[in-house]
């Protein structure tokens, strides 16, 4: 971590994020057009999102509710009165010539989202400056390769509801930024606010970054703030920030240029090349001529409505982690892993734990077997072929002593591979409970064949008995190793 300057990283990286998330509504923010991704260009459009003469916007209440849900979960204050503003600029993918957004009275402000690494390496409370709602623009596709200068416009996305979340510059490393984004994404997906699919553009991140460098006489030099755009994964965000911090440090060493002396720069992340590149200064000089949107009425939010929204919201991940750890007596680390996989996996786990009756045992199976297999196979937990009931049965039979855990894993793998039930697999693998008479006979044979082990145990080295278990399993794969060990020790004591 580079939270404090060290010899290896003689500066502090200061990062603030601006995140745009597309809200999971069926229809657009100000008209009834579908928000479904991937339709043929310009098929999800109407006079309003095309910006045709005379068309008017009408606010989508669901979008407002989802945005409020997000803001509440981020601990933001919700304004009792909020209005819409027009942000004016010309671009072909903005058919009205202005974007309906929120300027001086956003619907929410002053929240925070903490990022905590259960291993204890990270802990940062990141303040949220504001969360506001706005409409998305369409998409421009420049035909640069052909050199004809043709630009195609797809307005399907125009008018899609976006929630803009702006943080204070509270993050102190690229790793923290990535971890925080993971937490934010998890939260928004949990609340059903957004699917946060970065490939489809449902979540977009811009980062503002500069360095605080201790210099002569204890003074802190601050490098000019750079805004990084075009990062299309959280990994890209981390890489871009790492690169940019190094670049800024190098530049500072060469120029000693500090914040405020030059205008804020915008740089684009070139992922294949792994570098940021300066973009034109157009953004800095624009004057958006914001003014209140006269086609919409201000929105007032009542305390009752807020309370109902809060009620219907469900637990955010941070609360759910604590609840899971307490309810099932599992370590914080386990709860973190489970919650980070999403609501559906948590539901699977709770179903399993309920049936098994032991949270930690269920959690171990989740972490070691279910999650590993899920990662290998892909797909969602809801489509996972071994349902909680079957897995609970398997775990129950281990507890009963029918077979040991490693045998149970083989059964689990076979159930997954064949799609048969636990009973069928147990039968087909010839697994049968070994009765006590059979076990005594087996142990006697082993002791007779291993006088050295017997002597060692008698000499006080009980762990020597472990060598017998492998041999027992070779003779009969169905034996329970714990039982073999206990019985051998008993027999040696009687000798």
Partner 1 sequence: MQPSDMSAVDLVTAVRQGDLTALRATEAFLEQIERLDGQINAFLSVDRDGALRTAAAVDAKRKAGKTLGPLAGLPVAVKDALCTSDLPTTCASKMLAGFRPPYDAEVVARLRAADAVIVGKTNMDEFAMGGSNENSAFGPVHNPWDLTRAPGGSSGGSAACVAADMAPVAIGSDTGGSIRQPAGLCGITGLKPTYGRVSRRGLVAFASSLDQIGPMARSAADCALLLETIAGHDPGDATSLDLPVPAYGSDLERPLEGVRIGRVPAHFGAGLDPEVAHAVEEAFAAFRAAGATIIDIDMPHADAGVATYYLVAPCEASSNLARYDGAHYGHRAEPGKGHRAEPGKLQPAEPVSGQGNASGGFESALVEMYCRSRAEGFGPEVKRRIMLGTYALSAGYYDAYYAKALKVRRLIRQDYLDAFEKVDLIGGPVSATAAFKLGEKSGDPLAMYLVDLYTVCTNLAGVGGISFPCGFTKGGLPIGFQLQAPALAEPLLLRATDRYQHLTDWHRRRPAIAARPR
Closer to partner 1 by CB, 219 or 282: give it: 282
Is residue 397 classed as helix, strand or coil in its secondary structure?
Answer: helix
| Sole binder of partner 1 in the list 151, 182, 253, 421 (CB under 8 A) | 151
Q: Exposed (0-12), middle (13-18) or buried (19+): which is 442, by Cβ within 10 Å?
A: buried
100 beta partners = 86
Size, binding site for partner 1 by CB under 8 A: 36
Closer to partner 1 by CB, 287 or 435: give it: 287
Question: Which stretch, 94-102, 165-173, 196-204, 352-360, contacts partner 1 (CB under 8 A)?
Answer: 94-102
Give the shortest CB-230-to-partner 1 separation in angstroms: 13
Closer to partner 1 by CB, 105 or 416: give it: 105
Q: Does 141 contact partner 1 by CB under 8 A?
A: no
| Sole binder of partner 1 in the list 26, 114, 121, 144 (CB under 8 A) | 144
Q: Footprint of partner 1 on residues 32-61 (CB under 8 A)?
A: 47, 50-59
Give the shortest CB-81-to-partner 1 separation in angstroms: 16
Closer to partner 1 by CB, 98 or 252: give it: 98
Count the neighbouring beta carbons within 10 Å of the beta carbon of residue 405: 18
Q: Does 95 contact partner 1 by CB under 8 A?
A: yes
Residue 259 · residue 223 · CB < 8 Å: yes
Question: Which stretch, 84-92, 241-249, 368-376, 433-441, contacts partner 1 (CB under 8 A)?
Answer: 84-92
Structural Rg of the chain based on CA atoms? 30
Give the shortest CB-92-to-partner 1 separation in angstroms: 4
Cα–Cα distance for residue pair 433/404, rounded to 1 Å: 11
Cα–Cα distance for residue pair 375/225, rounded to 1 Å: 39
Q: Return the structure tokens found at 416.
A: 């997954």
Closer to partner 1 by CB, 53 or 218: give it: 53
Cα–Cα distance for residue pair 18/207, rounded to 1 Å: 6
| Sole binder of partner 1 in the list 44, 86, 124, 130 (CB under 8 A) | 86
Is residue 402 classed as helix, strand or coil in its secondary structure?
Answer: coil
Q: Exposed (0-12), middle (13-18) or buried (19+): which is 75, by Cβ within 10 Å?
A: middle
| Sole binder of partner 1 in the list 11, 64, 98, 252 (CB under 8 A) | 98
- Hunting for tokens 């999403």 — which residue is that? 342
Q: Characterize the bridge pairing of strands 275-278 and 12-22.
A: unpaired
Q: Does 153 contact partner 1 by CB under 8 A?
A: yes
For residues 422 to 451, the per-residue mask of contacts with partner 1, x marking binding by CB under 8 A and - elsewhere, is ------------------------------
| Sole binder of partner 1 in the list 3, 41, 83, 88 (CB under 8 A) | 88
CB proximity list for 314: less than 8 A, separation 6 or greater? 190, 191
Residue 102 · residue 131 · CB < 8 Å: no
Return the half-sphere exposure (C-beta side, CA atoms, 13 A cut-off) of residue 100: 27
Closer to partner 1 by CB, 217 or 294: give it: 294
Q: Does 81 contact partner 1 by CB under 8 A?
A: no
For residues 270 to 309, the per-residue mask of contacts with partner 1, x marking binding by CB under 8 A and - elsewhere, is ---------xxxx----x-xxx--xxxx------------
Q: Return the structure tokens found at 115.
A: 């990022």
Closer to partner 1 by CB, 227 or 334: give it: 227
Give the shortest CB-44-to-partner 1 separation in angstroms: 15
Closer to partner 1 by CB, 295 or 423: give it: 295
Is residue 74 classed as helix, strand or coil in its secondary structure?
Answer: coil
Give the shortest CB-266-to-partner 1 separation in angstroms: 11
Closer to partner 1 by CB, 291 or 305: give it: 291
Cα–Cα distance for residue pair 385/224, rounded to 1 Å: 54
- Hunting for tokens 């949990």 — which residue is that? 190
Give the shortest CB-134-to-partner 1 separation in angstroms: 16
Cα–Cα distance for residue pair 402/378, rounded to 1 Å: 31
Helices within 256-331 (DSSP H only): 282-285, 303-311, 317-328
Task: Identify which of 146, 128, 160, 97 has the alpha carbon closest to the alpha carbon of residue 19.
Answer: 128
Closer to partner 1 by CB, 296 or 486: give it: 296
Give the shortest CB-144-to-partner 1 separation in angstroms: 7
Give the shortest CB-63-to-partner 1 separation in angstroms: 14
Closer to partner 1 by CB, 142 or 452: give it: 142
Closer to partner 1 by CB, 59 or 110: give it: 59
Residue 172 · residue 195 · CB < 8 Å: no
Q: What are phi and psi of 370, to 5 degrees?
A: -65, -50
Interface with partner 1 (CB under 8 A): 47, 50-59, 86, 88, 90, 92, 95-98, 142, 144, 149, 151, 153, 279-282, 287, 289-291, 294-297
């Amino acid at each position: 971590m580079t939270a404090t300057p060290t010899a290896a990283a003689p500066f502090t990286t200061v990062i603030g994020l601006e995140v745009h998330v597309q809200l999971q509504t069926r229809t657009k923010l100000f008209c009834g057009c579908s928000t479904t991704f991937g339709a043929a260009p310009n098929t999800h459009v109407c006079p309003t999102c095309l910006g045709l003469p005379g068309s008017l916007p009408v606010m989508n209440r669901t979008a407002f509710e989802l945005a409020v849900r997000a803001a509440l979960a981020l601990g933001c204050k919700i304004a009792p009165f909020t209005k819409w503003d027009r942000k004016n600029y010309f671009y072909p993918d903005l058919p009205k010539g202005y974007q309906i957004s929120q300027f001086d009275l956003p619907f929410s402000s002053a929240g925070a989202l903490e990022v905590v690494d259960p291993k204890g390496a990270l802990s940062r409370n990141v303040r949220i400056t504001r969360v506001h709602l706005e409409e998305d623009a369409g998409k421009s596709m420049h035909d640069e390769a052909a050199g004809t200068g043709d630009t195609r416009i797809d307005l399907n996305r125009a008018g899609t509801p976006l929630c803009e979340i702006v943080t204070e510059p509270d993050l102190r490393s690229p790793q923290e930024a990535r971890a925080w984004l993971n937490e934010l994404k998890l939260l928004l997906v949990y609340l059903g606010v957004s699917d946060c699919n970065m490939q489809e553009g449902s979540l977009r991140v811009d980062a503002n970054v500069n360095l605080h460098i201790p210099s002569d006489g204890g003074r802190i030099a601050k490098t000019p703030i750079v805004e990084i755009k075009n990062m299309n994964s959280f990994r890209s965000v981390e890489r871009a920030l790492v690169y940019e911090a190094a670049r800024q440090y190098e530049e500072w060493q060469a120029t000693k240029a500090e914040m405020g002396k030059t205008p804020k720069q915008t740089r684009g992340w070139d992922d294949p090349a792994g570098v940021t590149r300066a973009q034109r200064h157009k953004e800095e000089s624009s004057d958006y001529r914001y003014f209140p949107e006269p086609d919409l009425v201000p929105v007032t939010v009542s305390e009752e409505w807020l309370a109902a929204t809060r009620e219907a919201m469900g637990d955010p991940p941070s609360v759910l982690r604590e609840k899971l750890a307490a309810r099932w007596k599992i370590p914080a680390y386990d709860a973190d892993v489970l919650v980070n996989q999403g609501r559906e996996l948590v539901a699977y786990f709770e179903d399993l734990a309920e049936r098994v009756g032991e949270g930690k045992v269920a959690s171990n199976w989740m972490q070691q077997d279910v999650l590993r297999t899920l990662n290998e196979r892909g797909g969602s937990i809801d489509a996972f072929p071994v349902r909680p009931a079957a897995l609970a049965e398997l775990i129950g039979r281990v507890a009963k002593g029918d077979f040991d855990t490693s045998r149970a894993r083989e059964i689990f793998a076979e159930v997954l591979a064949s799609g048969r039930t636990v009973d069928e697999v147990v039968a087909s693998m010839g697994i049968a409970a070994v009765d006590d008479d059979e076990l005594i006979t087996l142990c006697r044979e082993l002791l007779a064949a291993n006088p050295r082990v017997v002597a060692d145990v008698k000499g006080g080295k009980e762990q020597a008995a472990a060598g017998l278990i492998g041999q027992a399993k070779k003779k009969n794969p169905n034996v329970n190793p714990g039982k073999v060990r206990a019985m051998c020790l008993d027999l040696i004591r009687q000798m």
